[in-house]
Amino acid sequence: MKKFISAILLVCVALSFMACAKKEGGAAGKDANNKLVVWSFTDELGGYIDNYWKKDFPDKYQIEYSLTPTDQFPNKLDPVLASGNGAPDVFALEDAFVRKYIESGLLLDLTDMYNEIKSSMYDYPAQVGSYKGKVYGLSWQAAPGAFFYHRSLAKKYLGSDDPDEVQKYVANWDKFMETAELLKQKSNGVCCILSSQGDLFKPYTSARAKPWVVDDKLYVDPKMEEYMDVCKTFHDKGYDARVGQWSEGWFAGMKGDLKDEKGNLVECFGYFLPTWGLHYVLKTNAPDTAGDWAMCQGPTSYRWGGTWVAAYKGTKNPNAAKELIKYLATDPSFLERMAKDTGDVVSNKDVVNKIKDSYSEPFLGGQNHYAAFASMIENVNGELTQGSDQAIEGIFNECVAAYVNGEKSKADALATFKEQVSTTLGY
């Protein structure tokens, strides 16, 4: 009898211990499920979390946020994603390297979440974030590109600064080249249609019919061969000011301060820039030119830049990760407030259509840039973007420079390009 009672007591103690352990484990699990580790290369993401998410959901999750400079970010992210040790739950991905991760097999599948809201979203950001029919990354912004030009130079040489009229002069690449010659002739060589040939690259890569790699083989789209010829013509005929993109001379042309090697003024008619180029390039670097700018589509639709958000496929909190990404990339209330606060063009077309007619941009002489960009987004093709783009395009531009500068024939430059891609990348 005593043995029986002792056995019962032992069982009770064991059950009590298990219950306590389960309770403690449950609490620990709950705490874990309330925490998200978020990494970014841009302070935008941290600002959106602090200024919008946390105010909308003050007690939703504990977010541990880390900011790393862009040039160091991939080196920090790569090893933890590969090993799974210390990987963040959610992270930002820059346009230059987003496809590397989208194609990596290391990201959480967001397809089910995206399908819930896809009818409200522009196509191209999700196209960039998709691979083999699955969505792995989404963006809160859309970054279509335009052609920005000096109103004063348009009036001086074209007779009008109206965007619809100027668009006629740059409606396609043939017209663009004709206008480059017209500006040169009317200005006696003082006015260049562009400050840098580098501005041509994004519009041309976006105008391709096919990407760089097709069926696991390198493909040189005819548009990229055309790009080589246009760059050569620009160089030989002096249609650009021969300064590097992002150089001091490039910015000087915006301000109207660019001079040639002899100290003579060089007028730079326009720049190819995306949505963020207005707020973070022109306004920031040429504030005194406010009111002397306008924008039109230019020869082709194109995109440039942007930030995507994704999650690690091994995250312990997939539902929480998806909820945060859904909010940042698609939530209409957040995106409307953010757009009005920052001027950023967002990826939710319902929000864009709701607010687009309320803008008048003083820097652009009162033009409604938001409505103009909204019309440009629809024609952007995000399916051309691939993870190997950055490496391939770096090699390509070196070979184009050799052709433009007369160091190689076009055929030799292309042969060198194909050989180097094969040797270094295996395509």
pLDDT digits (tens, 9 = 90+) for 88-97: 999 999 999 9
* Whole-number pLDDT of residue 32: 55
Residues 183 and 230: beta-carbon distance below 8 Å: no
Cα–Cα distances in Å, from 409 out to 228, 392, 406, 416? Answer: 11, 20, 7, 10
Tell me the CB-side half-sphere exposure of residue 402, using CA atoms within 13 A. Answer: 17
87 close to 80: Cβ distance less than 8 angstroms: yes
pLDDT for 87 beyond 80: yes
**Residues 345 and 142 sit within 8 Å (Cβ to Cβ):** yes
DSSP 139-164: ESB--BEEEEEEHHHHHHHHS---HH
DSSP H stretches of helix in 238-388: 248-255, 275-277, 283-285, 318-330, 332-342, 349-355, 369-377
pLDDT of residue 15: 40
Helix axes 222-237, 410-425, angle to 10 degrees: 130
Q: Where are the alpha helices (DSSP H) in 193-258?
A: 201-206, 222-237, 248-255
Confidence of residue 33 (pLDDT cuts 50, 70, 90): low
Residue whose token pair is 């620990």: 28
**Nearest Cα residue to 348 out of 373, 334, 333, 330:** 330
Residue 402: pLDDT above 70?
Answer: yes
Query: Model-level pTM?
Result: 0.89
pLDDT tens digits along 121-166: 999 999 999 999 999 999 999 999 999 999 999 999 999 999 999 9
Share of the chain above pLDDT 70, in %: 92
User: Tell me: the pLDDT tens digits for 56-72?
Assistant: 999 889 999 999 999 99
Higher pLDDT, 89 or 24: 89
At 6, is the pLDDT very low, low, confident or very high (cuts 50, 70, 90)?
Answer: very low
Question: What is the torsion angle, in degrees rounded to the nearest 10, for the CA atoms of residue 166, residue 159, residue 186 and residue 283?
Answer: -60
Per-residue exposure over 266-297, b if at least 16 CB sit within 10 Å of its own CB, e if not: bbbbbbbbbbbbbeebbbeebeebeebbbbbb
Residue 350 has pLDDT above 70, yes or no: yes
Better pLDDT: 31 or 341? 341
DSSP helix/strand/coil, 362: helix
Average pLDDT of the chain? 92
Burial of 350 (0-12, 13-18, 19+ CB in 10 A): middle
Q: What's the pLDDT score for residue 168? A: 98
Residue with tokens 């974030």: 129
Domains of the chain, earliest start first: 35-143+305-362 (3.40.190.10), 145-303+363-425 (3.40.190.10)
Torsion of CA 89, 95, 96, 102, to 10 degrees: 50
Scan for tokens 């055309």, then name that residue.
226
Cβ pair 46, 67 in contact under 8 A: yes
The CA angle 311-50-349, to the nearest 5 degrees, is 65
Amino acid at 396: F
pLDDT of residue 34: 82
Residue 117 binned pLDDT confidence (cut-offs 50, 70, 90): very high
- Reported as a single tens digit per residue, the pLDDT across 176-203 is 999 999 999 999 999 999 999 999 999 9
Place of tokens 């490039």: 250
Alpha-carbon span 143 to 128, nearest angstrom:
12
- Name residue 29's amino acid: G
Cα–Cα distance for residue pair 166/148, rounded to 1 Å: 10
pLDDT at residue 24, as a whole number: 38
Supply 313's token pair: 């496929």
The pLDDT of 384-411, averaged and rounded, is 96
CB 135 within 8 A of CB 129: yes
